[in-house]
Each structure stands twice: as C-alpha cells, then as structure tokens.
Copies of this chain bind each other. A is one copy, B any other.
Amino acid sequence: MSVIQHSTPEQQQRKVQHFEDEPLNKFFNSVVLPLEYDNEMAKVKSLVHRVINSTTSKKVIFITSGGTIVPFEKNMVRFLDNFSGGGRGASTAEYFLEQGYHVLFLSRKNSLQPFVKNLMLHETNFFSFLDNNSMHCNHNTASTPKEQVHISDKYYDQVSSLFNKWKKYIDSGHLERIYFQTVGEYLYYLRGISMELSILKKNAIIYAAAAVSDFYIPLDHMAKHKIQSNNQSLTVTLDPVPKLIKYVVSTWAPHAFTVTFKLETDENILGSKCLMSLNNYKHQLVIGNLLSSYKDCVVFHTPNKAPQTICRKEPIHGTDKYVPAHTIENDIGEHLIILHDQFIKADN
C-alpha cells in the first residue's frame, strides 16, 4: 500500500506545459501551495498503483467535497466561505465504495466523511453515542460488573455497522482521503490529482462536487494583518477564480469522465447555467441542483440529450433517524455508473 509510483515522462511533460500557460501560472503563484502537498500526492500515486494492480475492478472515482475558503489576510483572521457540509460528496463516496470502485476523497477539513457522516446528525458530538452504565465485560481485566464506557445500546447496531464498513474500505485501500481548506489548496490538488489519474484513462470519474469559491484575494492584494474596523464600513474587492475545470477536460485528464455541479438558489437560471457550463468545458455531465431541494431532486445535463430529472426514490429517514438512509446520492450513483459504463464501452 505504500509503494510510490513516480510520474511518467508524459505526465512530467504535461506539468511543464502547464507552467508555460501564463494565466494559470499567475493564478498558482497568487495562492499558497498546500503545506503537505508532496506527502499527499504520494498517497494519490499509491492509490493509482493499487487500482492498476487490482484484480477486481480498475474503476476509480475522484470525489471533491465541501466548501473552499478564501482568506482575507495573510495572517488569517477573516475568510469567505461557501455553504457546504460535504454531505453529497460523502454519501456518493459510500455508494461507489459499495459498488467496488476505488474512491479518492478530497474534502474540506472538518467536512462530512463517508459512513461517519450518518452519525453527525446528532449535534456532531460523539459522546452522544456512548454510555457508562454497568455491564459485564472482561475486555480489560475484570470479569465482574463494572462501570465501563461503551457504545450505548441504543446506537450500537448503527455505529458498529457504519464503523465496520469504514474500516473495511480504509484497510483494503479502497478509500483514500486528502484534505484542503483554501480555494488555492483545492485547485493545486485538483490539478495534481487529475494529472496523476490521467493514466487510468476512461476508468476514472472526476466528480467535482466541492463548492468552489468564484472569487478570491490574490496574495499580493492581501492585507498582512487583521483588517481594523474603527466602526466604519469595509469594502472588499475580490478577483474571479479562473475556471480550472476546462484544463481538467482539455489537458490534465482528457480521457476521464468528468462531472461538475451547478448550485443555484434561483430556479429560473439553473437550466441555462448548466448548459453554458457543458458548452464551455466540453465535459460529460453537469448535475444541476437548487439549494432549496438539493436533497430531493437533481437534473442531469449531458451533451446532445434532453435534461433528465432524477429524484430520490425513497424517503430519507425510516422510523429511526439513525438508520442509514436511502439518499439521493444512491440514485445519482446508479445513473452515473450506467453513463460511465457506456462511456468506457464507446469507441472514441
């Protein structure tokens, strides 16, 4: 699991090409490289190695999840953030793991994680699932009844089922995780990981579900210290973040099946925004969703086809809200796997 595969000469060449693209070069110089970049990319290389050598399935999905932050100061006190708990990405990871895919999960630090997500409805405090009432247990040394902290009876089945799945996929190397915080860190990883996955050609899905900021403050425009208030208004000007997804499709991973999301709050503009995205980036799928209903219905936009609305087949919760639910990500996953299989089998 710890074998590190080095970039191919072809990939190195692509990196060089990238650095000759002036606007991109300028953007990456205006944000901070992730601290652990090289270590994290070594994990990606190991995953690619495992996929190539897998005797079961060669398919992999690279899921990005959670919101990106935009620092206002170099010594960061304030930052702009994007609404996203990371639920869509986490649920999608669960579904694809269960279908045999390897999953590379790039998520915002502290956002929802696969499986453990289903326990986070309850105040996000894991003490809610523990108890210390009397039980018989010779787990440590004593075999007489004693006060022992353990998973409470009420949640035991739920916690153990989720934990066993989590552990299985971590131990087997099917689930690999990397974290980001800022929009700059996110885009460094989007570029690096796409390039590493490109060797897998059509077997890779790039599923860009993270809520990426459209705006940022370049390092050379950023205040060094906390901006002072002085009881006056504050006016902040943010630059547009370049749309790097077009480089994913054209250059970094041109053979992958690329999926992007479009979240809007205004129903009237959602369809046209999705079509515009598909036309601009020439990728395989845009999934449109509204903030008010993103857990219930989404719309699939694919080239040369009518949009397809997909809604959740079953209610979210059973009688107990901790029973793992049928989420809309199951339905999204089911449709996406069909599209991915058609894509792999197609000639071009």
B236 near A240: Cβ-Cβ < 8 Å: no
B75 near A82: Cβ-Cβ < 8 Å: no
Quick one: CB contact mask for A41-79 with B, threshold 8 Å, 1 for yes? 000000000000000000000000000010011011111
B240 near A232: Cβ-Cβ < 8 Å: yes
Q: A320 on the interface (CB 8 Å rule)?
A: no
Given known A79-B80, A163-B127, A237-B233, contact A139–B149 (CB-CB < 8 A): no
Q: A32 on the interface (CB 8 Å rule)?
A: no
From the candidates B110, B167, B226, B235, name the one contacting A263 in the complex (CB within 8 A).
B226
B240 near A229: Cβ-Cβ < 8 Å: yes
A81 near B78: Cβ-Cβ < 8 Å: yes
B226 near A265: Cβ-Cβ < 8 Å: yes
Shortest CB distance A127–B (Å)? 5
By a CB distance below 8 angstroms, the chain B residues around A150 are 139, 150-151
B73 near A77: Cβ-Cβ < 8 Å: no
A137 near B140: Cβ-Cβ < 8 Å: no
Residue of B nearest to A71 (CB): B83
B237 near A237: Cβ-Cβ < 8 Å: no
B266 near A127: Cβ-Cβ < 8 Å: no
Shortest CB distance A273–B (Å)? 9
A160 near B149: Cβ-Cβ < 8 Å: yes
A222 to B229, CA, bound (A): 20
B263 near A77: Cβ-Cβ < 8 Å: yes
A265 to B71, CA, bound (A): 14
Shortest CB distance A31–B (Å)? 16
Q: Considering only CB atoms and an 8 Å cut-off, how many residues of chain A contact the other chain?
A: 70
A116 to B72, CA, bound (A): 30
Shortest CB distance A105–B (Å)? 12
Q: A27 on the interface (CB 8 Å rule)?
A: no
From the candidates B116, B148, B226, name the one contacting A125 in the complex (CB within 8 A).
B116
By a CB distance below 8 angstroms, the chain B residues around A135 are 137-139
Given known A116-B127, A236-B236, A265-B225, contact A167–B132 (CB-CB < 8 A): yes
Given known A136-B138, A137-B139, A151-B150, contact A265–B119 (CB-CB < 8 A): no
Q: A239 on the interface (CB 8 Å rule)?
A: yes
A231 near B240: Cβ-Cβ < 8 Å: yes
By a CB distance below 8 angstroms, the chain B residues around A229 are 214-215, 240
Given known A156-B140, A236-B235, A265-B225, contact A75–B214 (CB-CB < 8 A): no
Residue of B nearest to A109 (CB): B124
Given known A76-B83, A240-B229, contact A124–B110 (CB-CB < 8 A): yes
20 contacts between A and B (CB under 8 A): A78-B80, A110-B110, A110-B124, A113-B125, A119-B126, A127-B167, A130-B151, A132-B167, A135-B137, A136-B138, A149-B156, A149-B160, A151-B151, A215-B233, A226-B291, A229-B240, A232-B240, A233-B237, A233-B238, A235-B237
Not counting A80-B81, A81-B81, A109-B124, a sample of 9 additional A-B residue pairs whose C-beta atoms are within 8 angstroms of each other reads A75-B292, A77-B211, A80-B80, A116-B127, A126-B126, A149-B159, A215-B233, A229-B240, A234-B238
